[in-house]
Amino acid sequence: MKDSVIIVSGGMDSITLLYDKKDEIALGISFNYGSNHNLKEIPYAKMHCERLGIKHITINLDFIHQYFKSSLLEGSDAIPEGHYAAENMKSTVVPFRNGIMLSIAVGVAESHNLKNVLIANHAGDHTIYPDCRPEFIKAIDKAASTGTYVEARVIAPYTNITKGEIAKIGKKLGIDYAETWSCYKGGEKHCGKCGTCVERKEALAEAGIVDTTEYED
């Protein structure tokens, strides 16, 4: 029985989760909050959902770009380069982004009489993003279950594994990661230098996947 909604960005992690749990997913939701890379990611999310016969919607969150402070919202030149876990990557935090998206997804789930909301945060996010950490997922899961008649649950199965381990799952599922987007700069090609590009390269290498991503460098 399909009883789940998934937050699907079009990146490696959420596309892996989409295929991993495809038999449970009734609806894929992408959020356009005006980041540099949204317009590159979301078409991949839509394409993969359509390929799997899963309904896909995009919800605009224009207020985030208008009122929130983050280098992700300021253009490609504002995006720091270097390793994903480096201190300068904190500038890419969009405050409470997952909290906002999960809250909306829980409301959509209840509106469709669906019980679960899937999200693909992982252990590599913990250093930089507070709303990816296990304690946050536990708290918002509790809020979702107590705040809805369907007793909705937030399911985050990759919370305690690395992006490399996620890529290994994707390898078994036969996912072509060239059909995903990671780069925070959102140019014509992956820049190859920002934190998410570096993390992408490391994850694919760890999983033993030939990296066919087109990089600027």
State in Å, rounded, how far the first CA of the chain is from the last one.
45
Does 49 show up as a binding residue in the annotation? no
**CB within 8 Å of 24: residues ≥ 6 apart:** 1, 2, 3, 4, 116, 118
Does 72 show up as a binding residue in the annotation? no
Does 132 show up as a binding residue in the annotation? no
Does 14 show up as a binding residue in the annotation? yes
Q: Model pTM greater than 0.75?
A: yes
Does 11 show up as a binding residue in the annotation? yes
Does 9 show up as a binding residue in the annotation? yes
CA-wise closest residue to 159 among 128, 120, 131, 196: 120
Question: C-alpha angle with apex 123: 73 to 55, nearest 5 degrees?
Answer: 65
- The pLDDT of residue 85 is above 70: no
Domains and CATH numbers, the chain: 4-206 (3.40.50.620)
Does 117 show up as a binding residue in the annotation? no
User: Per-residue pLDDT tens for 89-123?
Assistant: 788 899 999 999 999 999 999 999 999 999 999 99
Amino acid in the structure at residue 163: K
- The pLDDT of residue 34 is above 90: yes
